[in-house]
Structure formats: C-alpha cells, structure tokens
Amino acid sequence: MATENALYTILVEKIRQDTLVLPTLPEVALKVRSAADDPEITLNNMSTIISQDPALSLGMLKVANSALLGRSIKVETVSQAVTRIGLRQIKSIATAMAIEQVFVSNNDVVAMYMNKAWAKTIDIASVAISLMTLYLKGHKHTSLSLDNITLAALIHNIGILPILTEAENHPDVFANPTFLQQAIVKLSGRIGGEITRSWGFSDEFVLLAEGWSDLSILPKEAHYLDFIRAGAVYHNVFKNESTKKALLNNYAKKGILPDIDYMESEEFKAECDNVRSMFN
C-alpha cells in the first residue's frame, strides 16, 4: 500500500507543479491536423503527407475499404482513400490511427500494460463505432459523427500513458501490476484531460478523456460519452451489474441501442469484428 501511495503522490505532485511529462502526438498526426486546418489544402497535398507514413497509409486504405463506408469497389492508393474518406474526416481518422504509436515501452511489465490498454481501447472503440454507425442510420440530422467517435474512442483512455511512463522511469519500485492499478483508476481521467488539452483538442474531446468513467456525468441527449460507455459495459470495464443495466436501459431509451440485448446479437458481433479489422 505504501508503494501504491508513493506512485500516486508523485503523480499528483507532478500534476500540481505542471511537471508531468505528457505524451506528444506522432509527427504525422500533427502534420495531418495542421494541413486539414489549412483552407487551401487539396486532396492531392493531403495524400502526399499521409503517404510519407507507411502505417498511416495502410490505415487509411483499411478505413476507405471498410464496411463503415459501405463501398463495394476497393481503393488501392492513398489518393483514392483520401478522396473517398474526404478532408473533413481525415483529420480525426488520421489522428486516431496514429495514436497507437504512443503505446510503446521498453520495460516488460509496462509494455504488457500498454499492450493490454491498447487492446482494450480497440475493443471499446469497435463497439462505440459500430453503435454510432447504426445510430446515424436512424438519426440523419444528429450533430454526432463517425469520425469524431473514432477519435474519441481511441483517446478516451490516453491518461494511463504518463502513469505507465512514470512506472517505466522507476521500474524497481513501480513497474509491478499491484502498484499501478490504483494510480490508473484514480488519476487516468484527470491526466487524460491534461493530455488532450496539451494536444489542442476541443473541450468536447477533453471532457471525453477526463470524464468517460465518471458516471455522475449523464448527458440527457445522445452523446459521445454514451457510445464509449456502451463499449465499456460490453467489455466489462464497469463491474456493477445494476450500473450496467441502468446504462443499457438509458441507451435503449435514447435510441443508441435498438433494445438492451442488442449487443448480444450475432449481427452486432459481426459488425464489431468488421470495425476491429481496421485496427489490426
């Protein structure tokens, strides 16, 4: 317990003094976001930027050819992928695709945590994106969008990274699963808010990273938080059965779920598998 408290105390103090080292967005994501904000940017210029990163190029092709965009004709070049996805969506999707690059560590225990965290993030994102795809079919005039939920779902748990990095810096003391969980539970939301602010994300994304696990925040209308939490329910992040049931009932009333048992259907599982294939 003393070691757990020590890690927690160190992190809190670094946050208070503004000395906690936050992860930076991968360079290619910064380039894409900057280019997307340029009113003079062209599809050709954007394709050139994305083509400089092989992993991002592959990710864009997967998205463009995915069931999400509902096209039967395959695209084979980054230029074709960018044209199909569109400049408006590229900013969020490219950022989301680059996020995986920050989940790396040279310490075996910390690397295990990061791998597990990224896998869980993909699981939750697959549910959130699948439900958003369904929701948009029945709510044509909503302000919610597929590209925003894709990015939101992939950054929702970003706050664990500085915690794991701190453990990596002091492996003999902190790089033990027993000592990490308390700090992750207590601080990852707060740190996630700090990271998204430092990345220049909008207040909406900051709220998602900061408050997705805070169930005292309950939007009255359908919100990105709901889709991420539905993924957390599906993957048993929320353990309390009455809490999970209450959330599912709420999402059914909002039209996010056709019914409270929908996520157990084969149709839904197949949709999640299709979405997950974009990230593999």
Looking at every residue in the chain, the average pLDDT score rounds to 88
Cα 271 from Cα 269, distance rounded (Å): 5
Given 3.30.420.40, 3.40.50.980, 1.10.3210.10, 3.40.50.150, which CATH number is that of 2-24+103-279?
A: 1.10.3210.10
Q: Which two structure tokens, joined as six digits, stand for 182? A: 């308390």
Burial of 88 (0-12, 13-18, 19+ CB in 10 A): exposed
Summarised one tens digit per residue, pLDDT across range 219-245 is 999 999 999 999 999 999 998 999 999
**Spatial contact of 70 and 128, defined as CB atoms under 8 Å apart:** no
Residues 136-180 have pLDDT tens digits of: 999 999 999 988 999 999 999 999 988 888 777 777 666 566 667
Query: Are 78 and 47 spatial neighbours (Cβ–Cβ below 8 Å)?
Result: yes
Indicate the domain borders of the chain: 2-24+103-279
**pTM (2 decimals)?**
0.87
| 1, pLDDT greater than 60 | no
Q: What is the pLDDT of residues 21-48, one digit of tens each?
A: 788 888 989 999 999 989 999 999 999 9
Instruction: Provide the pLDDT for residue 141.
Output: 93
Q: Would you say 151 and 279 are in contact if contact means Cβ atoms under 8 Å apart?
A: no
Instruction: Count Cβ neighbours within 10 Å for each residue of 186-219 and write b for 16 or more, e otherwise.
Output: ebbbebbbbbbbebebeeebbbbbbbbbeeeeee
